[in-house]
Amino acid sequence: MPPPSSAHRPPGIELPGLDFVALAKGMGCAGRRVSAVDDLDPMLSEALASCGPALVDIAVDDATTDLFSHPR
């Protein structure tokens, strides 16, 4: 059983050393990395407005244990 700290983290997100933005660009897609909350909306808008596929790589703090909770 996974430790409690990783109980709500989806599998397959711990992929160190992969640059998804570079991979996307290498395949001809738009790719941007977001590491600040204030940049998320503009980057998503840019990706959705693109004429082709686009990747938005969103950095998540390693201390975050539940990626699925929503504020109530």
Per-residue pLDDT of the chain (72 residues; tens, 9 = 90+): 445 455 566 666 677 788 999 999 999 999 999 999 999 999 999 999 999 999 999 887 777 766 666 665
User: In the prediction, which pLDDT does 1 show?
Assistant: 47
DSSP string, the chain: ---GGGTBSPTT---TT--HHHHHHHTT-EEEEE-SHHHHHHHHHHHHHSSS-EEEEE---TT--BSS----
User: In the prediction, which pLDDT does 30 show?
Assistant: 92
Instruction: Give the whole-angstrom CA distance, residue 53 versus residue 35.
Output: 21
Q: Where are the domains of the chain?
A: 18-62
What pTM does this model have? 0.67
Instruction: Give the whole-angstrom CA distance, residue 28 versus residue 63.
Output: 33
